[in-house]
Structure 1
Amino acid sequence: MPQPEMLPSLPPASLGARPAPFAPDPTNRLTYDDEVFLRSATVIGVPVVAQTAWRFPTEIPVEAVQDLVDELAKGPLNRLVVRPKVIGARSRWVPATTAEPVRLHPDRIKPDQVVGWLDSTADGVPFDPVKGPLWAYFMAYTTDGGTVVAYNASHIVCDGGMKLGAVIAAVRRQHLPRLPASEAEREVTRKDDRRDARTMARAAVRGLREARKAGKVPELEAQSSEKRPLPGPQADDDVVHEVANASADCPVEEWNAAAERAGGTSNALQVAISVEVLLEAGIVRPGEPVKMSLPVSMRGQGDLRSNATSGISIAVETEVRDGVGRVTDLAHIRERSKREFSALFKGTRPDPIAHIAPLAQMIPDKLAKPLLKGVVTPLGLASNLGRPDPDFVAPFGVAADSIVFRALALGATRGELRRMRGGVTSWWCEVGDTCTFGIRALDPDAVPDSERLKEIVTTVYGRWGLVPTFW
């Protein structure tokens, strides 16, 4: 059991956040990773919301869900952003004084309406980093006697480690520390912001010096978002696009058997299936390696950062077999990811972002906006959450049948998605005898809707001897 002050180090359902360039900050200032998601919402206009959904076999009382919400409101998740008074200073966190009550859907929904209902919760509570809220709970009863609970949270306020850790602590009634009271409870003046701006300026100068010393970081030789051609203007660029999502259950025993047959692990199979979805969709070319990003939580003892995520990238080998693109060798995925993770934790893997992060965080929004037009999302990203803590699986005293993790890019247009040149983002977790693979496809042309994505996942699963049961 984690100590009361410990946020469990769990791999996050993330969108490829970079490592934080600083150690956990004793102040309430936002980290570079926090700022990335803040600017995605306020500058680019595409807020990123992480959604966790539990499916329970019985009816869960509304009061039980509200009790959890009340506990979460006492912890580190309940915070808001205050923008700086001085250019160059970082935004800061303050505790939120209220939390949104759980929202119960007025009617029972059919099991095949669950995903549609989950999608609709994205519009249920507009998240605002300054005014709040930044997280909310929703629930609905199903016609077959079950319950679905959705936990939506802005990525500005939490990554997977913070999100899961806060829930586990709330279930156990452990009072985690909130924010450093010395700053959170007093008026922060222009003098404080000027001091922080000077600190950031010194860090930026040091970072630029280190960047010159480090030189160019070797580029990963694989297909990636950066190498995908930038599409030209199209007539429907301004149309808001509903990103394709699919959530598939299957027996853990069958998943593990498929992984073992190919010389790998459950993690490696998730990566392979994600790449094969890219292949089947025509987003990448068969016979060439594909760059995949694998995030991992770096959260430690007493770490109050909203986002504390790092990650690695590996080249996944593909081939043409029986006329289709495949990933048949899982051993190389396991070996390459193990090597890269080892380098990450030893500190021997160069990070091209860390040196320039202080300077990037200092740039005002008005100047940042044109610079962010060329930002791309990962071609492939796979977050593996393994088997979550029992208190997360049964936060209301009843174990969930299945848990799915998803990310929602709200309000993105087809043109914006085309310019970001993303591919797929996937999550995997294991609950009881069931494992759930959640995936979303960011290419509005290759995968125009969720039905097409389900067809692709079904085809890819079949090649591994698996049969998906979709939410």
Structure 2
Amino acid sequence: MKTSNVLDVIDQAMFDVARAVGGASQLQCIWVYNRPVDVDGLRRFHDHLRRGRLSRRIEQSPLPFGRHRWVAPAGSSDIEIVESARPREEFDAWLTEQCKTPLDCEGGPGWHLAVLPFTDGGAGVSLVISHCLTDGVGLCEALADAALGRDDPISWPAAGSRGRWKALWEDTWQTVRDIPAVGRGVVAAARLARRSRGGTGAGTPPTTPPPALSASADESITLPWATIFVDTDEWEARAQALGGTSNSLLVGLAARLAQRAERIGEDGSVLVVLPVNERGAGDTRANAVSSVRVTVDPARAASDLREIRTAIKQALIRHRRVPDEERAVNALVPLLPRRLLGGASGAMAGFTSNVVGGSNLGVVNPAASRPDGSDADQFAVLNIPSGVTKAKTYRGGGLQLLLSGTANGQFFVSVASYLLDRPNSNDSLRQDLSSTLNDFSLTGTHL
């Protein structure tokens, strides 16, 4: 069976929005070793990543409204091995520096691997990748494949191999086949607009009007972030004691963290957006996800997770039965001018005052935490949104995104956040995250 290299509508939408806002969101994998890293093993890992499922890039359609395609990569960046060791206390700053590495899922490179030796003898490893190339689950699968020496069996066509006239014909025919999906997108967009006007939208507006912002408010800002690790057995035991599951405990934690930042609705509730993994065997989509939204009372979350557990279950049941209107709208994105995409990017990302993202990768393949061939002492993944400016955060009432997973007996929670009229630093976010964990009688270790 021939594998199509036409981008899925979600991947197409993510790429178009990324171009509109000046860059794609990123995922950053973080490994920490309390011993020197095996550089030869890391080089082997890097070589297999270059031959694995991440070894592709996007070629734009010659049609202004056409669907783009996956093609073979033009090349990848070399592994970066920092020669001068730095104190472990500077690891945060170095990771932030890595996030500023120029990435390009069209021209390449789409990802970058680097290692930093610590002065105490340990080492940290970072992999930054464009979200246009993969989602969190797909990334962890690619990491495991590379660590196990498994290369991608798919050979993507070379860029430009179709020829202009063939490309025009094929992409025009693809557009014709997409007409029914575009029609469904128009209907879905109309329904979403009616619900928003009726006051049943995803979130509530900020409780106070945004202040007058200077011209520099439209410049991109660096989001504070923090990662904490909790013993897996302790996390699971606490979830069970509160009548919930690992996932409902994460949702409760996300809601309490939002409450601590006063990012709540008029009724005191928080809306938690939960990505739903739809990746199947042999799935070639970069982002094989949809999402559901759960309304949570953060005041009760730390003492009883049963309501949250039930709400998640009902949301997933409804999600399977009712067409996903937000997903359907993605079919319209190639038809929209770039200026509209740039303006709508905040809404697409969930920039509303009582909405927080809470994604759980589940149990990560143990091989994903072995980039040099042996288990890292800590492994986590961080979600870094793009195109975030002070103006957008004020219009939406702030931003909080949580990403979690289980690896090597540890449950990690990574948070990227920007709050209105409050301190915004890694240290302040760590303190908020630790305090919120304490609400659930849990303790953790920061990165």
Taking structure 1 as the reference length, what is the TM-score of the superposition? 0.84
How far apart in 2 are the matches of 1:365 and 1:211?
18
The partner residue of 2:178 within 200, 206, 217 is 200
Contact 2:195 2:201 in 1 (8 A): no
> Which consecutive residues of structure 2, in runs of 5 or more, have no partner in the other structure?
none
Which shows bigger deviation, 223-232 or 304-313? Answer: 223-232
Greater fraction of residues in helix: 2
Tell me how large the CA RMSD over aligned residues is.
3.1
- Aligned partner of 2:330 in structure 1 is 357
Contact 2:58 2:69 in 1 (8 A): yes
- Aligned partner of 1:40 in structure 2 is 17
Q: CA deviation at 1:51?
A: 0.5
- Aligned partner of 1:27 in structure 2 is 4
Which shows bigger deviation, 151-160 or 398-407? Answer: 398-407
| Alignment-mate amino acid for residue 351 of structure 1 | D
Which shows bigger deviation, 459-468 or 181-190? Answer: 181-190
Contact 2:21 2:387 in 1 (8 A): no
Which shows bigger deviation, 183-192 or 57-66? Answer: 183-192
Q: CA deviation at 1:314?
A: 0.8
CA deviation string 1:48-80 (max 9, x = no partner): 111011112222222222211211212231222
Which shows bigger deviation, 292-301 or 190-199? Answer: 190-199
1:394 aligns with 2:373: no
CA deviation string 1:121-165 (max 9, x = no partner): 012x30123211111111111223222111111001111122112
| Equivalence map 1:83-98=2 (5 Å) | 83-98=60-75
| Alignment-mate amino acid for residue 442 of structure 2 | L
Q: CA deviation at 1:399?
A: 1.0
How far apart in 1 are the matches of 2:201 and 2:235?
27
1:53 aligns with 2:30: yes
The partner residue of 1:171 within 147, 151, 165 is 147
**In structure 2, do the counterparts of structure 1 residues 64 and 42 end up closer, same or farther at CA, with 3 Å as the change threshold?**
same
| Equivalence map 1:148-187=2 (5 Å) | 148-178=124-154, 181=157, 185-187=161-163
Q: CA deviation at 1:82?
A: 1.7
Q: CA deviation at 1:285?
A: 5.2
How far apart in 2 are the matches of 1:232 and 1:128?
35
Taking structure 2 as the reference length, what is the TM-score of the superposition? 0.88
- Aligned partner of 1:191 in structure 2 is 169
**In structure 2, do the counterparts of structure 1 residues 148 and 221 end up closer, same or farther at CA, with 3 Å as the change threshold?**
farther
How far apart in 1 are the matches of 2:257 and 2:188?
39
| Equivalence map 1:89-128=2 (5 Å) | 89-123=66-100, 125-128=101-104
CA deviation string 1:1-24 (max 9, x = no partner): xxxx9xxxxxxxxxxxxxxxxxxx
How far apart in 1 are the matches of 2:338 and 2:383?
24
How far apart in 2 are the matches of 1:296 and 1:391?
23
Q: CA deviation at 1:366?
A: 4.9
1:336 aligns with 2:336: no
**In structure 2, do the counterparts of structure 1 residues 350 and 201 end up closer, same or farther at CA, with 3 Å as the change threshold?**
closer
How far apart in 2 are the matches of 1:309 and 1:382?
13
How far apart in 2 are the matches of 1:373 and 1:223?
15
How far apart in 2 are the matches of 1:178 and 1:405?
26
Q: CA deviation at 1:222?
A: 8.5
- Partner of 1:303, secondary structure, is coil
| Alignment-mate amino acid for residue 149 of structure 1 | V
Contact 2:45 2:149 in 1 (8 A): no
- Partner of 2:104, secondary structure, is coil
Contact 1:54 1:148 in 2 (8 A): yes
**In structure 2, do the counterparts of structure 1 residues 350 and 61 end up closer, same or farther at CA, with 3 Å as the change threshold?**
same
How far apart in 2 are the matches of 1:408 and 1:111?
22
- Aligned partner of 2:222 in structure 1 is 242
| Alignment-mate amino acid for residue 29 of structure 2 | T
**In structure 2, do the counterparts of structure 1 residues 206 and 457 end up closer, same or farther at CA, with 3 Å as the change threshold?**
closer
- Partner of 1:246, secondary structure, is strand
- Aligned partner of 1:454 in structure 2 is 430
How far apart in 1 are the matches of 2:19 and 2:153?
28
**In structure 2, do the counterparts of structure 1 residues 245 and 461 end up closer, same or farther at CA, with 3 Å as the change threshold?**
same
1:258 aligns with 2:238: yes
- Aligned partner of 2:407 in structure 1 is 431
Contact 1:76 1:179 in 2 (8 A): no
> Which consecutive residues of structure 1, in runs of 5 or more, have no partner in the other structure?
6-24, 321-325
Contact 1:223 1:291 in 2 (8 A): no
| Alignment-mate amino acid for residue 69 of structure 1 | H
User: How many residues are treated as equivalent by the alignment?
Assistant: 440
How far apart in 2 are the matches of 1:376 and 1:209?
21
- Aligned partner of 1:267 in structure 2 is 247
